[in-house]
């Protein structure tokens, strides 16, 4: 957590008061919540009444996708189609899959090109094929793995013609690149506190004032009757402080990170020419690629070997995605971009943040080439092992006594 966010969090943890209570301490807590709401709304280009606090990005995505689907389908039962990008975070993708499995929804996974950009022609064709039956469209603002920034304005422009609501998961974009909810034409937008230096367990769904959403969880109706549950004053205060800090000098910090990112990308490409950059080739500053995102696939090795060796060398990286048990899986994002499973298994993401400096890039580059060479030697888990086993011995027909005595 960043300084102001940590200070706000600890300050309000020690205070009592339920923001829904009408007594003095309740009103003071309410005050903190509303001030934070204002900060977050302003950081995201929205009116304060459009910010609905949630327990995080996942809840916000669930509320948006399910809430929009139920509201739209409830108003007109022909609206069953969900148009969803094929590189969404699991919070959106799995929610859509759940609606298909349990609520009779039909999904169209919108293809992406080799840079991870949603194909707008396909989107337009899918909408115009039968606009009356589309319940909602959902396209993330920026991808968490490969950093591609999506053409949200174009998506909402196509949808608006037919009055179709659009949701965007902006968890990665918010606080990292300029995000303007009002100007985007979105109906709902999910954000999270911990991605911008705030605490884990707090997020928000931006909900346009005219948008109707069916609640997912029921209870006291604290948040505009859309979301129930006692508000976490300390977490929200901290979220507000983090949002303010992240956007106070956003162009400056994004520019600094983008330059550092391009330096790292260039260094990797020079040191390991066979490594392949994922996502936008031309980052366009931070207009096409997130400023802190560097993602490569390294041929001939497993991402987890690379991760292990880098970790041992003191560099923390990520393979992209892992299941609940911690098993690295070929990323659905990379597969959607047309990579093979084998290529996708060599994925490695290097994230830069507000503490990253040139010396971090240098530290990584000091170990990466050697690390890559070792990881390549370890090869792919699917290949045939060269260790002598009972099977290979009997296959090769080794006769007794061929093993050298005293061999070490």
Partner 1 sequence: MKVLAAMSGGVDSAVAAARAVDAGHDVVGVHLALSRMPGTLRTGSRGCCTIEDSSDAWRACEKLGIPYYVWDFSERFKEDVVDDFIAEYAAGRTPNPCMRCNERIKFAALLEKALALGFDAVCTGHYAKVIEDKDGNPELHRAADWAKDQSYVLGVLTHEQLRHSMFPLAETPSKAEVRAEAERRGLSVAKKPDSHDICFIPDGDTRGWLEERIEMTDGDIVDAEGVAIGRHRGANAFTVGQRKGLQLGRPAADGKPRFVLEIRPKENKVVVGPERMLAVDRMKGIKVSWCGNPIDEVASGTEFDCMAQVRAHGDPVQARASVSIDDDGQQLLVVDLIEPMRGVAPGQTVVLYQGTRVLGQATLDSARSTERPELAESLS
Cβ-contact 356, 257 below 8 angstroms: yes
Query: d(Cα 150, Cα 140) in Å, to the nearest integer?
Result: 7
Query: d(Cα 289, Cα 305) in Å, to the nearest integer?
Result: 26
3-state class (DSSP) for residue 64: helix
Measured in whole angstroms, the distance separating CA 91 from the mean position of its chain's CA atoms is 9
Pick the catalytic residue from 22, 323, 325, 390: 323
CB closer to partner 1 out of 223 and 302: 302
Cβ-contact 203, 182 below 8 angstroms: no
Tell me the closest approach of the beta carbon of residue 408 to partner 1, in angstroms.
6
Query: d(Cα 126, Cα 32) in Å, to the nearest integer?
Result: 45
CB closer to partner 1 out of 203 and 330: 330
Burial status of residue 259 (CB atoms within 10 A of its CB: 0-12, 13-18, 19 or more) = middle
Half-sphere exposure of 53 (CA within 13 A, CB side): 29
CB closer to partner 1 out of 172 and 319: 319
CB closer to partner 1 out of 28 and 329: 329
Which of 139, 115, 114 lies closest to 126 in space, CA to CA? 139
Tell me the closest approach of the beta carbon of residue 90 to partner 1, in angstroms.
11
Tell me the closest approach of the beta carbon of residue 376 to partner 1, in angstroms.
9
Tell me the closest approach of the beta carbon of residue 324 to partner 1, in angstroms.
5
Q: Look up 301 and say whether it is catalytic.
A: no
CB closer to partner 1 out of 107 and 322: 322
Residues forming contacts to partner 1 in the complex (CB under 8 A) are 302, 304-305, 307-309, 311-312, 322-329, 374-375, 377-379, 381-382, 385-391, 393-394, 397, 399-401, 403, 405-408
Return left, alpha or beta for 121; rule: phi > 0 is left, psi -120 to 50 is alpha, else beta: alpha
Tell me the closest approach of the beta carbon of residue 312 to partner 1, in angstroms.
8
Sign, CA torsion 182/184/189/194: negative
Give catalytic residues, as residue numbers: 323
């Amino acid at each position: 957590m960043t300084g102001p966010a940590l200070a706000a969090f600890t300050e309000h943890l020690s205070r009592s008061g339920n923001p829904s209570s009408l007594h003095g301490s309740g009103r003071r807590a309410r005050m903190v919540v509303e001030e934070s709401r204002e900060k977050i709304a302003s950081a995201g280009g929205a009116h304060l009444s459009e910010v609905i606090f949630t327990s995080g990005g996942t809840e916000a995505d669930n509320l948006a996708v399910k809430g929009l689907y139920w509201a739209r389908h409830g108003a007109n039962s022909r609206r069953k189609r969900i148009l969803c990008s094929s590189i969404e975070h699991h919070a959106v993708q799995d929610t859509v899959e759940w609606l298909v499995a349990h609520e009779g929804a039909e999904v169209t996974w919108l293809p992406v090109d080799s840079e991870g950009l949603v194909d707008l022609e396909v989107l337009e064709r899918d909408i115009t094929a039968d606009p009356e039956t589309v319940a909602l469209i959902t396209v993330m603002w920026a991808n968490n793995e490969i950093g591609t920034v999506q053409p949200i304005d174009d998506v909402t422009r196509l949808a608006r013609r037919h009055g179709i609501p659009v949701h965007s998961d902006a968890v990665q974009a918010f606080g990292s690149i300029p995000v303007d909810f009002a100007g985007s034409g979105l109906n709902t937008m999910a954000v999270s506190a911990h991605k911008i230096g705030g605490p884990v367990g707090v997020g928000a769904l931006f909900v346009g004032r005219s948008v109707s959403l069916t609640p997912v969880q029921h209870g006291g109706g604290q948040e505009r009757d859309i979301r129930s549950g006692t508000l976490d004053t300390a977490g929200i205060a901290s979220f507000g402080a983090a949002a303010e800090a992240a956007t106070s000098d956003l162009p400056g910090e994004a520019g600094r990170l983008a330059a550092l990112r391009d330096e790292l990308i260039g260094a990797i490409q020079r040191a390991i020419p066979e490594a392949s950059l994922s996502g936008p080739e031309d980052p366009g500053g931070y207009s096409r690629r997130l400023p802190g995102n560097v993602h490569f696939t390294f041929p001939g090795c497993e991402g987890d070997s690379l991760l292990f060796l880098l970790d041992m060398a003191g560099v923390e990286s990520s393979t992209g995605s892992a299941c609940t048990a911690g098993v690295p899986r070929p990323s659905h994002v990379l597969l959607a971009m047309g990579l093979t499973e084998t290529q996708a298994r060599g994925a490695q993401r290097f994230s830069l943040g507000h503490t990253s400096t040139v010396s971090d890039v240098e530290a990584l580059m000091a170990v990466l080439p050697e690390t890559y060479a070792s990881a390549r030697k370890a090869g792919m888990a699917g290949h045939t092992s060269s260790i002598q086993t009972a099977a290979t011995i009997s296959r090769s027909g080794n006769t007794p006594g061929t093993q050298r005595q005293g061999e070490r």
